[in-house]
């Protein structure tokens, strides 16, 4: 289902037209007898006219296209169903009505598409097609604005700010309509992401997520969306992967075209260490959303965790065919050579090229750019990164290193130990408060332990690093567990305990999901205390590409 053309002026009208299209798509996607491509994959075809080419690219036999014109409280909708094999119209119709007729028009168009495709539609599916999301148009407008912000999270450096704004909009929407189910669904997801990503990993944020989930359950307990919302909540907030999987099984029954279900299953399998199963699930998600390059990015991350660099590169190449200008994909493609071969030149070239094309892209790539500057031992480049770093830009995965931590690392790189210590003390104050409020926050304890190691607080650093590993062992998360062990090795190295550092590093170097790579150990200053130790050299050599010396 292609994006509907907006025939009115202004961004709000464009968002309204997208809302019409998304509402029809959502209704059709609930029909088990139809294969409906996810919204993400069709948005790039906005304004496209070659339906045969689109059909081949998406592997579909029909497309629905249309246009929307809004004038005050009146709307005009034009819808056309086209057979992509012959480029002929199967059905076309125009609708005129009041703005208050919008949801009825969406339902009517969805049902007529199903009828003309001679699709089997169950009684339950017919009811879902007919049901409006809300009776309050102002609440619906707030919802559309919030959803637009949430959909853009993967492509912005303002993720925290956008999530907070989305929450405000959704709070207003559900205040106007307490029965607005899909608004609660988005609200629960926004709170869960804030918690999971470490933007607000507090009991208060968790309670807000719980409240939204409870509203979802009370409104529509047995729906596929409710099961999916609960699965996401169990995954993001509690790491309860087994129960999340059970909820996804239930969600699949009524959401046959929902790509987020196999994608979340893939995330869960990845964290449980079921690597091949994770890849299979993600590839199923890609079938439902074939032009969604973010799924290919996730597939590439799984290959990276397995140190399958050839497959990682191939996945990113596919993503770049879909979105050749996507900055994260371009940077990560060049990152492959740095990790696998300790060759920084492709990444250096890629970053400089991107910044020359668009200096505003800097905040999107600060994480890998800083890593490159550190590995190249280039203080000037590192200072450029700090100047572009947004709030929260120093996080590594979900480990909440404050920006002051990165400032300290860069100060130490340029040899300014006084400035480094001042920055580390500032980072410690921030993390100490975080851990005081959340004593079992493993990622926070890990970050605090590393900062304490940098400050020479040996006993505190080791206690904090060990506690983090105890809270999330590898058996609980095949992604976070190895990273926490990796940073415990850093803590030991920086506090002078080479034997334990080598022991822990050797352990994590053998684990899938570890960020310990050949390029990381060869070049990153974090490991300078171990350089020259034959045991360290042996670990580095074990990760070297075949054929290297």
Residues 533, 404, single domain; the answer is: yes
In a domain, 383, yes or no: no
Number of structural domains (the chain) is 4
Q: How far apart are CA 51 and CA 85, in angstroms?
A: 9
Q: Ramachandran region of residue 377, left (φ > 0), alpha (ψ -120 to 50) or beta?
A: left
Q: Minimal CA–CA distance to 460: which of 512, 424, 502, 419?
A: 424
Summarised one tens digit per residue, pLDDT across range 464-504 is 999 999 999 999 999 999 999 999 999 999 999 999 999 99
Q: Which domain holds residue 515?
A: 391-542
CATH code of 184's domain: 1.25.40.10
- Of 132, 151, 181, the one marking the end of a domain is 132
Global confidence as pTM: 0.88
Report helix, strand or coil for 519.
helix
Extended strands (E) in 84-233: 88-98
- Of 84, 110, 132, the one marking the end of a domain is 132
Residues 426, 527, single domain; the answer is: yes
Kindly report the average pLDDT of the chain as a whole number: 93
Report the chain's C-alpha Rg in angstroms: 25
CA distances from 476 to 238, 242, 446 (A): 11, 11, 16
Rounded mean pLDDT, 226-252 = 96
Q: How far apart are CA 226 and CA 219, in angstroms?
A: 9
Q: Residue ranges of the alpha helices (H) in 37-84?
A: 39-42, 51-58
Number of helices and strands (H, E) in the chain? 27, 4
Check residue 368 and give its pLDDT. Answer: 95
CA distances from 122 to 132, 184, 465 (A): 18, 26, 55
Summarised one tens digit per residue, pLDDT across range 266-276 is 999 999 999 99
Residues 490, 523, single domain; the answer is: yes
Residues 13, 146, single domain; the answer is: no
Summarised one tens digit per residue, pLDDT across range 443-462 is 999 999 999 999 999 999 99
Give 156's pLDDT tier (boundaries 50, 70, 90): low
Rounded mean pLDDT, 521-549 = 91
Q: How far apart are CA 452 and CA 192, in angstroms?
A: 29
Q: Which residues are CB-contacts of 353 (< 8 A; sequence separation ≥ 6)?
A: none
């Amino acid at each position: 289902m292609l994006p509907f053309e907006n025939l009115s002026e202004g961004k709000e009208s464009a968002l309204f037209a997208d809302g019409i299209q998304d509402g029809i798509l959502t209704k059709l996607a609930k029909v088990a007898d139809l294969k409906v491509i996810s919204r993400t994959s069709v948005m790039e075809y906005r304004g496209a006219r070659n339906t045969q080419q689109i059909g081949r690219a998406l592997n579909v036999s029909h497309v629905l296209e249309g246009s929307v014109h809004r004038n005050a409280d009146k709307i005009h909708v034009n819808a056309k169903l086209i057979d992509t094999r012959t480029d002929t119209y199967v059905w076309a119709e125009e609708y005129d009505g009041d703005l208050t007729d919008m949801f009825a028009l969406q339902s009517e168009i969805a049902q007529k598409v199903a009828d003309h495709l001679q699709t089997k539609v169950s009684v339950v599916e017919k009811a879902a097609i007919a049901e409006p999301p809300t009776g309050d148009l102002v609440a619906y407008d707030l919802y559309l604005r919030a959803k637009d912000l949430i959909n853009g999270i993967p492509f912005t450096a303002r993720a925290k700010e956008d999530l907070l704004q989305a929450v405000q909009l959704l709070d207003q929407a559900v205040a106007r309509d307490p029965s607005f189910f899909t608004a609660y669904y988005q609200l629960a997801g926004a709170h869960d992401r804030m918690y999971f990503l470490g933007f607000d990993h507090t009991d208060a944020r968790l309670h807000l997520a719980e409240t939204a989930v409870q509203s979802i359950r009370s409104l529509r307990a047995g729906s596929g969306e409710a099961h999916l919302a609960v699965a996401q909540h169990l995954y993001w907030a509690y790491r309860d992967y087994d129960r999340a999987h059970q909820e996804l099984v239930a969600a699949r029954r009524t959401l046959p075209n929902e790509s987020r279900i196999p994608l979340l299953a893939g995330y869960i399998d990845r964290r449980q260490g079921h690597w091949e199963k994770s890849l299979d699930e993600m590839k199923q998600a890609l079938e439902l959303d074939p032009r969604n390059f973010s799924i290919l990015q996730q597939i590439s991350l799984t290959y990276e965790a397995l140190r399958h660099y050839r497959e990682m590169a191939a996945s990113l190449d596919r993503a770049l065919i879909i979105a050749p200008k996507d900055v994260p994909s371009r940077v990560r493609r060049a990152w492959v050579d740095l990790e696998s071969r300790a060759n920084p030149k492709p990444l250096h070239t890629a970053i400089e090229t991107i910044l020359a094309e668009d200096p505003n892209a800097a905040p999107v790539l600060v994480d890998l750019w800083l890593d490159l500057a550190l590995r190249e031992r280039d203080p000037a480049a590192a200072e450029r990164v700090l100047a572009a770093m947004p709030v929260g830009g120093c996080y590594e995965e979900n480990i909440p290193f404050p920006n002051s931590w990165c400032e300290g690392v860069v100060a130490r790189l340029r040899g300014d130990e006084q400035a480094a210590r001042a920055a580390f003390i500032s980072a410690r104050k921030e993390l100490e408060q975080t851990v005081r409020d959340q004593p079992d926050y493993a990622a926070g304890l890990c970050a605090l332990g590393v900062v304490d190691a940098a400050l020479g607080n040996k006993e505190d650093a080791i206690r904090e690093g060990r506690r983090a590993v105890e809270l999330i062992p590898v058996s609980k998360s095949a992604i976070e567990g190895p990273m926490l062990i990796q940073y415990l090795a850093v803590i030991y190295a920086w506090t002078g305990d080479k034997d334990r550092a080598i022991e822990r590093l050797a352990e994590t170097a053998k684990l899938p999901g570890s960020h310990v790579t050949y390029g990381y150990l060869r070049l990153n200053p974090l490991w300078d205390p171990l350089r020259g130790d034959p045991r360290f050299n042996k670990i580095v050599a074990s990760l070297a590409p075949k054929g290297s010396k």
